[in-house]
Amino acid sequence: MPISSGFYSDLTADLQKCCFLRPVNATRFFLLAALISGARLLAQHPFAFGVASGDPYSESVVLWTALEGISGPETLTWECSQDADFTSIFTSGSVQTDPEHSGTAKVVARGLEAGTTYYYRFWWREHVSPIGRTKTAPAPNAMDPVKLAVVSCAHYEAGYFYGYGEIAQRSDVDVVVHLGDYIYEYAPGKAGWKVPGRVHVPDHEIVSLNDYRTRYAQYHRDLNLQAMHASHPVIAIWDDHEIANNSYTTGADNHQDDEGAYSQRRAVAMQAYYEWMPVREEHSEGYRAFRYGQMLDLILLETRLDGRTEAPRTDAGRFAPLAEHHLMSENQRNWLTERLQSSSAAYRVLGNQTIFSPLDLGVLPTKRVKDHNPDAWDGYLEERENLARLFPSVAPVVILTGDSHCSWGFEGPGYVELCTPSITSTNFDEYANPLVARFAGFLLWLRNRNLEYVNVRDHGFLTVAFSQEVAQAEWIYVQDIKSDEPWRVSHRRRRIVHPWTKNLLTKRR
């Protein structure tokens, strides 16, 4: 989380007296159905963690599950069918797991047909897992429309994962792009914004391999998270909290000397990540690309562990030369440039962790926050400018960003940047009343001319639907992540990306 939680609480006092805008009440509420049929079976032994799929190619996809309570090596059978009732089995096989892999099992189902929905399940002894649904990427020459759901930042203690539950209900999503902070490493806390009964385990900050595994297991027990995984494939990349807050190649703000060697913590965090996530293990650096026909190339960046140097402590440090101050390794920068220049897709879509676009925070009437966030691309100016100069020649570029917990829509030369809100992690609404939060967003919009849309108070997710003519972005917000009552979608905000003109965002009513 680039902006500390203290920032939000500090901002409240400074804005309270000068806030005069009235909040706009939502005009429509959508009462959603229950989670996918049989969702509560997902919490039953031995498949207590559900099923998941991910990293879809046109001919293959990763299938994942985990067994609870095994004491030795076990063999699971998996089946994949084009029929929800498994009338005929398209392909099948077996996969092994053991306690040394925390009971997790992962296999790449190959020989699949492009752009096709499949159903899958696992068998272990007499037990059968919940049924999952997945979808392969389109054929390389297809021009089919593509719709992405974009998520990030799900703090277990901060609220219920209703955004995940809403995504599970949607049949129009082709794939979910998770941009990081899938888990949080923090110990249980006592902040007022935390939900009673949702307490992190283990009961301390996670550092060891067993700690990380235990935290992933807790998150995977959440029924909304399980429902999303069972409904759609996920393309995921980590951010910082999968290791420690504000992590970089050789350290993290939330790693202290008495917690052991950072290199060891980083190694076990990544081991647990690859065990518990439906990702292909041949891409150990994290950055990779996915082709969705001729419609889009999805290019995932990794800006935490591959090459990030420590965030600058002074404003002058933001201007340090690229050779000594960067977010990516030289190999990744060269790879990214080649991918952008060689892409023949209608859109080049970057999956990115921290805000890329310039964002001046100094307009907020408080001295407790820096004018710019040094943990984002604002802290690595030469690297950003080098990449930004490339965008007009390879446009249209759509950057999808997580991390900030807020919704942003930026316009830049040759690109737009669309930032998803958090599923639950804190933004202004946890520390300020709606008037204050709305006023803060208004001030930021007023100050930053490149900022077309901002919402710093609501939680949910983003969808982006790509077609040959336009791309349509929709921020979808759930009503109350603190309440255990059935959730509602409180409101939506839409924008259209016009890539063939000036790549600008416009409102869509």
Amino acid at 400: L
Select from 6, 141, 35, 51 the least CA-distant residue to 426. 6
Phi, psi (5° rounding) for residue 157?
A: -75, -15
Over the chain, what is the mean pLDDT? Answer: 90
What is the value of pTM for the model shown? 0.91
pLDDT band at 432 (very low <50, low <70, confident <90, very high): confident
Which CATH code is given to the segment(s) 5-31+142-467? Answer: 3.60.21.70
Lowest mean per-residue pLDDT among 6-10, 44-48, 67-71, 271-275: 6-10
What's the mean pLDDT in 462-469?
95
**CA 496 to CA 303: how far, in whole Å?**
28
Phi, psi (5° rounding) for residue 77?
A: -105, 140
What angle in degrees, to the nearest 10, is found between the helix axes of 434-447 and 5-16?
100
- What CATH architecture is 39-139? Sandwich (2.60)
**CA 387 to CA 369: how far, in whole Å?**
27
Neighbours of 486 (CB within 10 A): 12
State yes or no: pLDDT of 8 exceeds 80: no
**CA 272 to CA 213: how far, in whole Å?**
6
> What is residue 367's predicted lDDT score, i.e. its pLDDT?
60
Q: Where are the domains of the chain?
A: 5-31+142-467, 39-139
> What is residue 24's predicted lDDT score, i.e. its pLDDT?
30
Query: What percent of the chain clears pLDDT 70, i.e. is strictly above it?
Result: 89
**CA 388 to CA 392: how far, in whole Å?**
8
Q: Checking DSSP bridges between strand 415-419 and strand 397-401, what pairing results, if any?
A: parallel
Helix H or strand E encompassing 162:
helix 162-169
pLDDT tens digits for range 392-404:
999 899 999 999 9
> What is residue 509's predicted lDDT score, i.e. its pLDDT?
54
> What is residue 496's predicted lDDT score, i.e. its pLDDT?
92
> What is residue 390's predicted lDDT score, i.e. its pLDDT?
96
State yes or no: pLDDT of 500 exceeds 90: no
Token pair listed for 280: 């292909």
Select from 198, 204, 189, 240 the least CA-distant residue to 221. 198
Q: Does this chain's domain 5-31+142-467 share its CATH topology with 39-139?
A: no
pLDDT tens digits for range 203-246:
999 999 999 999 999 999 999 999 999 999 999 999 999 999 99
pLDDT band at 366 (very low <50, low <70, confident <90, very high): low
pLDDT band at 369 (very low <50, low <70, confident <90, very high): low
pLDDT tens digits for range 136-166:
999 999 999 999 999 999 999 999 999 999 9
State yes or no: pLDDT of 11 exceeds 70: no
> What is residue 43's predicted lDDT score, i.e. its pLDDT?
44
Query: What percent of the chain clears pLDDT 90, i.e. is strictly above it?
Result: 82
Q: Checking DSSP bridges between strand 251-252 and strand 288-292, what pairing results, if any?
A: unpaired
What's the mean pLDDT in 89-93?
98
The gap between the terminal CA atoms of the chain, to the nearest Å, is 32
> What is residue 2's predicted lDDT score, i.e. its pLDDT?
38
State yes or no: pLDDT of 264 exceeds 90: yes
**CA 270 to CA 279: how far, in whole Å?**
12
Give the chain's radius of gyration (CA, Å): 22
